[in-house]
Structure 1
């Protein structure tokens, strides 16, 4: 998964980058067909905003979160993305049971 991290009115430090990487790994664990993720971290007055667009096979998912702390905003964002990814995965999974076909012919002679 390719991760693009952008900061508006905030400098992206190594600790922030590592924290976002660590949290986004959880999303990739639940659905391995994620190709690209773009995360934007923004500071507006005292509100910290994190938003992300996740590109995956079959769908694009967007979520945003605003909190008083940037780390809390990232946590909330990944929780929202995780729920959406699980929902997408559930939708594309085929839940119909296949007919069971016996492998061995059990005719008596």
Structure 2
């Protein structure tokens, strides 16, 4: 995780920077996929008093968190900020957990595992006819295919209608 600390209207000291980086890096135990944390530390006049203001923009894989806290002491503002961010992360995780607990489990193999119904026809009569007769009979029947003995080749054949309106024939070698 990249942590960028920026100072605004505040003397940049290594101690404050290290403190902020240490506190923010502890957030990683709650959210492991953090990409970047940009922390802005400043001193501002709020209600006629000098206050330390700590704000953060935390960018993770699936979430961006923005937070700001103020306190008379900049260290206390950093502490309040990290507590606030941790609470937001916990709230986000709880919402995500509830979302997935409420949903029904999806069985992706159920469709593949179920055996389709197969109708077994044991008394199918194979008649001898030419290709034109087979096409005419297929058009009259409410079936997708017809099995016949081809008069020209004397082979058992399967004729079926394709999706584009054409026909295909398979000759079976015995």
Query: Which of residues 85, 88, 94 is equivalent to 1:81?
Result: 85
Q: Say which is worse superposed, 10-19 or 31-40, in terms of deviation.
A: 10-19
Distance in 2 of aligned mates of 1:85 and 1:37: 14
CA distance in 2: counterparts of 1:70 and 1:38, whole angstroms: 16
Structure 2, unaligned stretches of length 5 or more?
Answer: 107-174
Which has more radius of gyration? 2
Q: CA RMSD in A?
A: 1.8
Aligned to 1:39: 39
Higher relative contact order (CA closer than 8 Å, sequence separation 6+)? 1
Alignment TM-score, normalising by the size of structure 2:
0.53
Kindly state the Cα deviation for residue 95 of structure 1 after the two structures are TM-superposed: 3.0
Matched length:
99
The alpha-carbon deviation at position 17 of structure 1 amounts to 1.2
Contact 2:43 2:52 in 1 (8 A): yes
What is the CA–CA distance in structure 1 between the aligned matches of 2:93 and 2:35, rounded to whole Å? 15
The offset of 1:92, in angstroms, is 2.9
Instruction: Provide the C-alpha distance between the structure 2 equivalents of 1:73 and 1:41, rounded to a whole number of angstroms.
Output: 9
Unaligned runs of 5+ in 1: 100-109
Secondary structure of 1:92's counterpart equals helix
TM-score (norm 1): 0.82
1:10 maps to 10
SS in 2 for 1:78: helix
